[in-house]
A and B are shown apart, each in its own frame.
Chain A
Amino acid sequence: MADSMSNLAAAFAGESQANRRYLAFAKKAEEEGYPLVARRFRVAAASETVHAMEHLKTMGGVKSTSENLQGSMSGENYEHETMYPEFIETAQSEGNEDARFAFYAANEAEKFHEKMFAEAFADLNKVPDKKFYVCQVCGMTYEDGTPDACVVCAAPKSKIIEVL
């Protein structure tokens, strides 16, 4: 029988995924013309966020900002150095172009995320005050301005929005 720490980790993963899944379902419901159904998905998504964050805190997953930055840098590094390159290769060998491109796009953004976190980690008391933008089509991330079109997915400038 699993112990509570394993269960917390599993529950955190499950609730995190549920949040994302419900938000995607809410978007689909809006597109299909069911705003009241969309609302229910968003309500559940908001609740799962609370669950996920509570589980993460309970299992000691939220440390000091410095430690969280360090962990995040490692995570992003693993993704763009190891995980996504392997996934891209697999998708390519399968001829699954949709998966390949989705992994390629995510991989490009993770490289930026590591640098963004590293810059903050270098000196927490002197973090540069920059503006950041995220492409709503592929997740590519930019700082201090956006191109006319996303350099990864070519989405127009209007789809690259600032995140506060």
Chain B
Amino acid sequence: MTRVPDVPVEVGRCVCGECPSMPDEMKSFYCARGVSRSAVARRGCLCEECPIQIDYDLDGAYYCIEGAPE
């Protein structure tokens, strides 16, 4: 089970859509939903500034590549 619950209230706070590295796919919210199925070009990461990162005491980055923390 991932540390970030996949519930609408948290999905609604996700900042992945604003990220310069966000790949062209429907799925995001990678800290809860896991790695991207598309290739991700590292153009910067917003995970460290994301309110979800702070509220759930996470310390990673590029969850779209590294996967969701458990």
B26 touches A149 (CB 8 A): no
Residues of A with C-beta under 8 A to B9? 151
Total A-B contacts with CB atoms under 8 angstroms apart: 47
B16 touches A154 (CB 8 A): yes
Residues of B with C-beta under 8 A to A98? 27, 37
Residue total for A at the interface (Cβ-Cβ under 8 A): 18
List 10 tightest A-B contacts by C-beta distance, closest first: A156-B17, A154-B14, A151-B8, A154-B29, A151-B12, A147-B12, A154-B28, A149-B14, A151-B11, A155-B17
Provide the main secondary structure of the chain A interface.
loop
Which size bracket describes the interface of B in this complex? Answer: 10 to 19
Provide the main secondary structure of the chain B interface.
loop
Whose C-beta in chain A lies nearest to the C-beta of B8? A151
Q: Which B residues contact A (CB, under 8 angstroms)?
A: 8-9, 11-18, 26-29, 37
Q: Which A residues contact B (CB, under 8 angstroms)?
A: 97-98, 101-102, 105, 137-138, 147-156, 159
Bound together, the chains give a CA A150 to CA B13 distance in angstroms of 8
Bound together, the chains give a CA A152 to CA B26 distance in angstroms of 10
